[in-house]
């Protein structure tokens, strides 16, 4: 099982990279979000993401996505840009098509987004129903967690929505050779480039498809949700946002901003998360009072109390008299049997569902822009799977099987946070993944 799930959808998800440029088209601003799946060490004009984010190239790609364009049109549109047509072809951004040039990579237009949502909704409901039909088994598995203050709907959302449908779903589609991944790319690259047109007309609310993650001292902090309600006020997102401000010191030289960020970020991120992880770990093991937690961590009571107050505001813990209890899921090594059992069942359900539906869905998506110009379906399937499981998660929220990220009592809407011992990401079952 691949333990790295590197992709970007709107901000930073693990090691993925995101850029955006925009231009007005008619009465609407279209923003082209360009990202990768995988790991990219290329720089400058050798990097297709860097080239795609050039304003002239971004505008040109949007025009080519509407219809193939001639070499003269392309060269005129690029004008004084650093990029030229041979470079765009070499980088795979455009390809020769009939007497002109068409899109040459994973590119989703506004119309493609609507086509995916409309076409995949019934299939996603069918996938969600496969989980509902086995819900008594999932409930029996989750009862082993044993902390009543953590809502079972949040446990299900984290384990099935993120770990199963997202992370394991990407693994199973790769193992079944249903999608091209960063491990099996043509041309020797170790990343897939993609682009999505965005506008105020696109609605990704309740498409629960994005995890933001960081690991400190063997503990992984995750937020999982849609990319409509941003930024997320949880960990690690909140710390990313705070530490990035160190690089934006008013009226300061660039060198000072960079050095300030490099010096302060470890304190704002890793050092703090080290304390938070230790607090949640000892709470999972049973320590509940400030004195007991502080003693277990060998940290001053005042510091522990300040962190617990912060975690309370972010809805990781809550105060219960003179004690604190966990309310957001924290999965320790003691929870491995529960996690593996739930994910193994989810793996079996996805395996069966993909066998029955993969080819049928493919036949219904021939109208996608990239498909019209010969981009292999397997090369598009990473994004297609995101739509499928994002919509399936939405369906499971709507049916009450998952907790609702938009519930009135949520401080940060559109997502739930959870924390776990990082090596639990490895699915160790008799299935042999």
The pLDDT score that the predictor gives to residue 182 is 74
Closest residue by Cα to residue 7 from 158, 126, 169, 156: 169
Q: What mean pLDDT is predicted for residues 30-42?
A: 86
The pLDDT score that the predictor gives to residue 433 is 58
Structure tokens at 3: 């333990």
Q: What mean pLDDT is predicted for residues 48-58?
A: 95
306 and 353 belong to one structural domain? yes
Structure tokens at 169: 């779903």
Q: Are strands 191-198 and 106-108 parallel, antiparallel or unpaired?
A: parallel
pLDDT in tens, 343-376: 999 999 999 999 999 999 999 999 999 999 999 9
Q: Which residue has the higher pLDDT, 263 or 123?
A: 123
pLDDT in tens, 253-300: 878 878 887 887 788 889 999 999 999 999 998 889 999 999 998 888
55 and 126 belong to one structural domain? no
Q: How many domains does the chain have?
A: 2
Beta bridge partners of 18: 35
Closest residue by Cα to residue 331 from 142, 139, 135: 142
Contact at 8 Å (CB) between 157 and 346? no
pLDDT in tens, 177-225: 999 887 666 566 788 899 999 887 788 999 999 999 999 999 999 999 9
The pLDDT score that the predictor gives to residue 29 is 78
Asked if residue 13 belongs to a domain, the reply is no
Asked if residue 195 belongs to a domain, the reply is no
**E strands of 98-209, at which residues?**
100-103, 106-108, 191-198
Confidence bin at 8 (pLDDT 50/70/90) = very low
Asked if residue 35 belongs to a domain, the reply is no
Domain that holds residue 234: 121-178+203-433
376 and 238 belong to one structural domain? yes
| Long-range contacts formed by 305-313: CB under 8 A, 24+ apart | 307/272, 307/275, 307/276, 307/279, 308/279, 311/276, 311/279, 311/280, 313/411
57 and 167 belong to one structural domain? no
Q: Is 257 left (phi over 0), alpha (psi -120 to 50) or beta?
A: alpha
pLDDT, averaged across the chain: 89
CA 132 to CA 141: how far, in whole Å?
A: 14
256 and 381 belong to one structural domain? yes
Structure tokens at 258: 């960079």
The pLDDT score that the predictor gives to residue 246 is 65
Asked if residue 189 belongs to a domain, the reply is no
Inform me whether the pLDDT recorded for 1 exceeds 60: no
The pLDDT score that the predictor gives to residue 181 is 84
49 and 168 belong to one structural domain? no
The pLDDT score that the predictor gives to residue 186 is 59
Phi, psi of 26 (to 5 degrees): 55, -125
Inform me whether the pLDDT recorded for 431 exceeds 70: no
82 and 227 belong to one structural domain? no
Asked if residue 387 belongs to a domain, the reply is yes
Exposed / middle / buried, residue 119 (Cβ in 10 Å: 0-12, 13-18, 19+): middle
The pLDDT score that the predictor gives to residue 101 is 98
420 and 366 belong to one structural domain? yes
CA 102 to CA 306: how far, in whole Å?
A: 57
Beta bridge partners of 331: 420
Structure tokens at 389: 């499981």
Task: Strand 28-38: give its sheet, edge to edge.
Answer: 18-25, 28-38, 191-198, 106-108
Residue 412's SS3 state is coil
The pLDDT score that the predictor gives to residue 157 is 98
216 and 78 belong to one structural domain? no
| Long-range contacts formed by 87-91: CB under 8 A, 24+ apart | 87/45, 87/51, 88/51, 88/57, 91/48, 91/51
Structure tokens at 316: 């990781």
Q: What mean pLDDT is predicted for residues 418-432?
A: 85
The pLDDT score that the predictor gives to residue 40 is 86
Exposed / middle / buried, residue 361 (Cβ in 10 Å: 0-12, 13-18, 19+): middle
Separation in Å, CA 421 to CA 219, 223, 332, 333, 409: 5, 15, 5, 7, 27
56 and 152 belong to one structural domain? no
Asked if residue 370 belongs to a domain, the reply is yes
63 and 137 belong to one structural domain? no
Asked if residue 93 belongs to a domain, the reply is yes
Closest residue by Cα to residue 76 from 94, 51, 59, 96: 59
- Stated pTM of the model: 0.89
pLDDT in tens, 388-416: 999 999 999 999 999 999 999 999 999 99
125 and 160 belong to one structural domain? yes
The pLDDT score that the predictor gives to residue 37 is 80
Asked if residue 67 belongs to a domain, the reply is yes
Q: Are strands 415-421 and 219-225 parallel, antiparallel or unpaired?
A: antiparallel
């Amino acid at each position: 099982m691949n333990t790295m799930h590197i992709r970007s959808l709107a901000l930073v998800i693990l090691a993925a990279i995101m850029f955006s440029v925009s231009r007005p088209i008619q009465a609407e601003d279209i923003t082209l979000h360009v990202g990768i799946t995988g790991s990219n060490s290329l720089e400058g004009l050798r990097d297709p993401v860097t080239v795609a984010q050039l304003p002239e190239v971004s505008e040109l790609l949007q025009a080519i996505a509407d219809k193939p364009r001639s070499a003269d049109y392309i060269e005129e549109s690029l004008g004084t840009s650093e990029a030229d047509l041979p470079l765009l072809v070499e980088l795979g951004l455009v390809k020769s098509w009939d007497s002109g040039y068409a899109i040459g990579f994973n590119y989703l237009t506004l119309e493609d987004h609507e086509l995916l949502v409309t076409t995949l909704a019934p299939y996603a409901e069918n996938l969600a129903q496969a989980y509902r039909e086995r819900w008594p088994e999932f409930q029996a598995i989750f009862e082993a967690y044993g902390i009543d203050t953590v809502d079972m709907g949040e446990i299900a959302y984290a384990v099935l929505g993120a770990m199963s449908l997202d992370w394991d779903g990407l693994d199973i589609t790769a193992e079944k050779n249903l999608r091209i991944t960063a491990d099996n790319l043509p041309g020797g690259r170790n990343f897939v480039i993609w682009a999505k047109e965005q506008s105020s007309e696109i609605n990704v609310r309740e498409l629960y498809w994005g995890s933001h993650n960081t690991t400190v001292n063997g503990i992984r902090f995750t937020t999982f949700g849609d990319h409509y309600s941003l930024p997320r006020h949880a960990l690690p997102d909140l710390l990313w946002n705070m530490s990035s401000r160190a690089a934006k010191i008013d009226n300061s030289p660039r060198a000072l901003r960079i050095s300030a960020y490099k010096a302060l970020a470890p304190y704002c991120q890793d050092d703090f998360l080290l304390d938070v992880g230790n607090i949640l770990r000892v709470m999972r093991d049973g320590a509940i009072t400030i004195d007991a937690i502080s003693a277990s961590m060998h940290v001053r009571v005042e510091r522990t109390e300040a962190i617990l107050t912060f975690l309370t505001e972010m809805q990781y813990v809550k105060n219960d008299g003179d004690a604190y209890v966990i309310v957001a899921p924290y999965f320790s090594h003691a929870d491995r049997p529960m996690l593996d059992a739930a994910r193994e069942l989810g793996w079996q359900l996805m395996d069966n569902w993909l066998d029955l539906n993969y080819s049928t869905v493919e036949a219904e998506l021939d109208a996608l822009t990239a498909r019209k110009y010969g981009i292999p379906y397997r090369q598009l399937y990473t994004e297609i799977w995101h739509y499928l499981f994002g919509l399936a998660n939405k369906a499971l929220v709507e049916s009450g099987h998952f907790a609702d990220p938009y519930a009135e009592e949520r401080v940060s809407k559109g997502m739930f946070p959870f924390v776990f011992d990082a090596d639990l990401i490895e699915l160790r079952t008799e299935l042999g993944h």
